[in-house]
Structure formats: structure tokens, C-alpha cells
Amino acid sequence: MAINIKYRPLKAFLLAVDTGSFTHAANHLGVTQPSFTALIQDLEEVLGLRLFERTTRSISLTSAGQDFYARVQRPIADLEEAYRSLADLAAVRRGNVALGALPSAALTLLPAATGTLRQAHPALKVRVVEAHNDELVALLRTNQIEFAVAAQAEPASDLTFTPLGEDCFCAVFPAGHPLGEAPGMLHWRDVLRYDLILLSQGSHARQQFDRAVRDEVGAPTTALRYDVTHMGTAAGMVRQGLGVSVLPRLALPELNLSGLLCTPLCDASARRYIGVLHRRDRTLSPAAQALVEQLETAMAHIQQRLLPLPPITADA
């Protein structure tokens, strides 16, 4: 037999037991006493049992009422806690966000975005995984992260990409280097003439470099002398005169570039879009959406500190 279970009569029953009075319980529930009595009667009618012994001055539980109270008290408390928990998540009062980010995005965007998020929603917890673009896609597809701050990759039917801003790669070289004296604008071909300090295989910067060099017709042979993992290491080695590096423009404001010059490359293949990547079949949690909003704001502010994007020109 199906039973029509309603929350409000159950809550009225529990309040009546806890307060020992229909009058006090009605006040807690915010209804008149006749309406409260009707809720109790409705519950007793559904159950087919009398739950209270009532006099003009007091109420007491029947044996059936005692048994019912023992059975429903905990489930109703758990249900109310579940509702409060979900309401907190919806209002971004608490929650956890696991995201992935390219090292350049993690270096510049994440500190600013999470700092602002912490002020607005101090109970939120954020876990950041720094990884290369291909690794971020794999983490998304296996649900290890909710979204990624990544470079736009090849279109995929299971993923959605929302741009945050355009970026480019820059030649980084010591003051007094011949690249600083070159007339006009720099291209891939210009940096290929010198020993290079590049980010390691697997990084998006390296993939874009390798692709550009591969597509260069008659590109000069370059001597790759150093292969490093961290952008700060590359900048330090450039400062020692060990070669020229190619680093993402987005990361430059957070690197120690003392004594170095940076010039954006003008090739179309030196451009990329940074944005939010997530699974098409998953809706971002309210906490994740709040963080994405802060990332958009952080990108708008950081763009003002970046080197201007050069016009895209062909290599003469």
C-alpha cells in the first residue's frame, strides 16, 4: 500500500514532541494552532493510529506515538541536513573545486582568482593540478578534475572550450643580444638562429614551437642546448647568457626578468587562446562557476600588465 508521506506533518509531530505543547510547536512552525492541529490529525489519519493523548493542558505520546517518534526522528534530521547541505552548495557557502591548469595560467591567473574567491567564499576549498595540455584533457575525461584552464586544442565532441583571452609566445633574451637590435618584428625564424633554452617535451609551449619549426620551410638549423621543466629556470639560464628562450606572454609578469628583454613573436603559429575546458556532459558546480567568474576577472586585469599583442605578419 502506497503511503502519501508529507514533510510538514512529520515536522509538526516532532516539534510537538520536542516542545511538549501544540501551542509552542505551532509558533515554531509559524502557523496557527488550528492549522497545526490539522497537520497532526492529517498525519494520524494517514497512519491510521493515534499519536497523542491530548487534554486541555497537556499532550503525551501514545505507545504508537513513542514508537513512531523513535523511528522518524533521525531520518527527518538527516533529511533536513541534506537539504541544508545542498542549499549551502547552491549558495557557494561551502564546497570543493578540483581544477587543472597550465603552468603559465597557474602562475598568473590562479593566485589572483583564488584570492578573490577566498574573500567572497571563505569556506570553499580549491585543489589545483598543474599539468600539460594533453594531461589536462586526460584528467577531465577521467573525472579527476572538474575543469581546466588550458590552451585551445583540437575540437573534441566531448569537451567544451570557453576562451578567457588570447596569448602569444615571446622571445626572451639578454640585454645587448643581437635579437634586440633586429629591425622590424621577430619571428620563429629569428630565434632559430641561436642556442635555445626550451620548456620540456609535453608542454604546450614546446608543442607549439616544434609544430612551428616543422612547418617552417627552409628553417635554419638550431642547436637546442637546454631542455628545462620550469619557466623560472629558463629565464635564469637566459640571464647567464646560455641561450634564448621562448616563453608564454601570460607567465612573464610573474617571472624574474631582471636584465632580460622580451619581444612577442609575430607569427600566427605563435598565438594561442587560453580558456576554460570542461566536459560537455557535466554541469559545473556552483563553486566551480564562482571560480570561473573570478578567472575571467583576473584575466581582464592581467591583460593590462602584459606586453601588447603584435600584429600577425608573415616572415619575409
Whether 230 shows a pLDDT value over 90: the answer reads yes
Q: pTM of the predicted model, to two decimals? A: 0.71
Distances in whole angstroms, Cα of residue 130 to Cα of each of 39, 91, 99, 106: 56, 28, 9, 7
pLDDT tens readout for residues 91-130: 556 678 889 999 999 999 999 999 988 888 887 888 999 9
Over range 52-71, report the average pLDDT: 88
Q: Which residue has the higher pLDDT, 89 or 302?
A: 302
Share of the chain above pLDDT 90, in %: 50
Query: Do residues 187 and 168 make contact, with C-beta atoms less than 8 angstroms apart?
Result: no
- Mean pLDDT score of the chain, rounded to an integer? 87
pLDDT tens readout for residues 8-52: 998 899 889 888 889 888 998 888 989 999 999 999 988 888 999
Residue 286 pLDDT = 83
Over range 256-275, report the average pLDDT: 94
Residue 89 pLDDT = 52
Whether 88 shows a pLDDT value over 70: the answer reads no
Residue 151 pLDDT = 93
Whether 223 shows a pLDDT value over 80: the answer reads no
Confidence band for 86, pLDDT divided at 50, 70 and 90: low
Query: Do residues 46 and 56 make contact, with C-beta atoms less than 8 angstroms apart?
Result: no
Over range 220-243, report the average pLDDT: 86
Residue 185 pLDDT = 84
Over range 154-172, report the average pLDDT: 93
